[in-house]
Chain A
Amino acid sequence: MPNSKGKAAFGVGLATLGLTAGVGALLAARSKDRPARDDAPNSAGRRGYQGHDIVGRSVTIAKARKELFDYWSDFANLASFMENLVSVTKDGANDRATWTIRAPAGQTVDVVTEVVANRPGEMIAWKSVPESQIKTEGNVTFEDAPGDRGTRVSLTIDYSPPGGELGKAIASLFLREPQIQARHDLKRFKMLMETGEVTTSARRKSETRAAKIQQNEKAETA
C-alpha cells in the first residue's frame, strides 16, 4: 500500500488504534446477544451490563435519506467530516477502498476494505479484506425519522481488540478517545449536510482544528 508518510511501525495494536480513531468507532468487544429487556437499541448503555455491546451512535439530520446516502456511499467524501481520516481512495475492483488514517506521531496507516452490503438509500456495510493487517467492519444505516424530521443516521463499527500485552495496554490507554471521536464525526456530518459547512469558532483559518491537526503533523514528522 502506498503511503507518503511511511508505514506505522507499531504493529497491529497501534495501527488498530489509529483506525478506530479515524473512522470514529467505539472500541468494544464484538457483539454478543444480550437479553432484551426493553426497546433501547444495543448502542445504548445498560446498567448491570459490562460496557456497551455493539458500538455506535445515531444523529437525526434534516435532509432526505437519498441525499445523505449518496454522499456517504462515496467514501472519498468521508474525510470531509472524519477528523482523523487523511483520505479514502477507491481501488476500483470489488468496491475496494484504501483508508489512510492518522496515527500517533505524525504517522499514517492504511487499511483496505470492501463493501459487503449496499442497499441504496438504506444501508452500506464494509469489511477489511482478509489480507488486511487491520481487522474492522462497519455499517451505516439511513432511515426516515418520524414526521418531517429528516433522516436518522446510525453508525456502527466493530473491531477485533488487538491481541497481546501491547494491544491491551494501548486499548486501555486510548479506549475513551474513539468514543468521543465517533460522536464528533457524526455531528460534523450533520453540520456539513445541513449547513454546508463544518462549524468552527476559530477567528482565523490557521486556528481551526483541521489546520491545527495538520500543523501538529508537520511538527511531529519534522
Chain B
Amino acid sequence: MRALTFHGKHDVRVDTVDDPEIVNPRDAIIKVTSTAICGSDLHLYDGVIPAVLEGDILGHEFMGEVVEIGPKSNLKKGQRVVVPFTISCGQCFHCQVQQFSCCSNSNPAEKQDMSATLYGQAMAGLFGYSHLTGGYSGGQAEYVRVPYSDVGPIVIPDHLEDDKVLFLSDILPTGWMGAENADIGPDDTVAVWGCGPVGLFAIQSALAMGAAQVIAIDHYPHRLELARKLGAQTINFRETDVREALMEMSGGIGVDAVIDAVGMEAHGFAIDNMLDIAKQKIGIGADRASALKQAILAVRRGGRVSIPGVYGGMTDKFPLGALMEKGLQVRSGQTHVQKYTKDLLAKIEDGTLDTTFLISHRLPLEQAPKGYKNFKEQQDSWTKVVLKPDMELAA
C-alpha cells in the first residue's frame, strides 16, 4: 500500500510499504477514505517529539471502510467507521471510568518504559504518534490495522459524508473536551488561545455550552475571521496587549476560564520564549509554553485553566506562584475520544455542530508532503488539510 512516512525533520514522503493484516483477535483493517493532517502532526514534522523513527507511518485522524475483521471484532465488513486517535482496550480500570486516553493496556509492554521514565507512568497507545505511544502505524495510508476494534471505531450512517464526520477522530472531541474542562457556566467569559482547528472547535463548544462571551486570540487574520464567524470576539496578539485587553473586555475581573489550544510550539516574543526556542532547536526537550503562561496570568482569581494543546517535555519559568496564589484549577490531557463520539455524532446529525467550514484543502494522499509543507508554512490560509487516498491526482 501507499503511506505517508517520516524520514526526518521536515522530510515526509509517500512510500510503498507492506499492507497491514489482522494480528490480534479484536483487530479490524480499515480501508481509509479520508484522513487529515493534525496540528499535532506538525510537532512530529518539526522534530520536537522524541522517538519518531524513519519509516514510521504518521496520521491519527482517519476514517474508512471495514475490509477485514478478526474473530473478536464486532464490526462488519463494508461498514463506514471513524476511528478515535486514542487506542483503548475498554476493560482496564481507566477505560472503565471513561479515561480512555489513559488506557493501561494499549501501549505494548515493551514500549512503555520510555514514557514511564518521562512521565512517571506509561502513556496509552495512539495511532501514528511516535514510539512513546506504542509505535502504531498511522492513518495517512491506504489501510490501517485498528486494535480493539470493538471499542474505538464509531459506525457512521450512510447519509453523512466523510467531511462532516471525519473530525470525530480527534479535533472535534478535543475542542469539546477543552471546553468541558473549562467548566463553563452561563455568565462566563472564556478566552481561547489559538484559532487552529482545536481552538475553533473549543470556541464553538464553549458557545454551545452557554458561555456569555468567548474571546479568541491568534495572529493569523483568516483564522481570527473564522473565530469571529463562530461568534467569538477576537484579539490579534501581534497588535494588542493581550492581558490588558482581556482585563478590559472582562470588566476588570479577568476572564473566568482560559483554554490553551496552542501547545508546545507557541509563537511569542517574550525573552523566555526566545530562550525556549533556542533550547528546542538544540533538542533538550524544552516546551515553549508562552500561550499557557499568558493564559495563567490573564485568568481571574479562582478561575479555570484548560489545556488541550499538546506538551511533551518540561518548561522553564512557569508562573507557579500565580497558579497557587490565584487559586486556579487546571485540567488537561489527551482526549478521551470514545467518551464523546456518540453524543457529538448526534450533534452533527441534528445540525448543532458543523465541522466542514474548517476544511481549506483536499488533496490526494500522494500529495501529503505538500499538505504538510503548506499547513506548516501558510497557516493563515491552510486551516485544515484532508487527504483522500482515492482522489485523482490533478493534472
Contact = CB atoms under 8 A, between A and B. Distances in A.
Interface of A: 60, 62, 149-150, 180, 183-185, 187-188, 190-191, 194-205, 208-209
Interface string B102-126: 0011111111110000000000010
B108 A201 contact: yes
Given A199-B89, A209-B108, 7 more contacts: A190-B105, A195-B91, A195-B148, A201-B111, A201-B125, A203-B21, A204-B21
Contacts of A204: 18-21, 23
A62 B96 CA distance: 9
Interface residues of B, number: 33
A197 B24 contact: yes
A179 to B, nearest CB: 11
B109 A194 contact: no
A185 B108 CA distance: 11
Contacts of A209: 108, 110
B93 interface: yes
Interface of B: 18-21, 23-26, 72, 89-93, 96, 104-113, 125, 134-137, 145, 147-148
B109 A199 contact: yes
Q: Chain B: interface secondary structure?
A: loop
Given A62-B92, A62-B96, A199-B125, A187 B21 contact: no
A208 B135 CA distance: 12
B113 A180 contact: yes
B106 A197 contact: no
B18 A199 contact: no
Contacts of B106: 199
A62 B91 contact: yes
Contact of A199 (B90, B145, B147): B147
Contacts of A208: 23
A150 to B, nearest CB: 8
Contacts of B113: 180, 183
A198 B25 CA distance: 10
Contacts of B89: 191, 194-195, 199
Nearest to A59: B104
A62 B108 contact: no
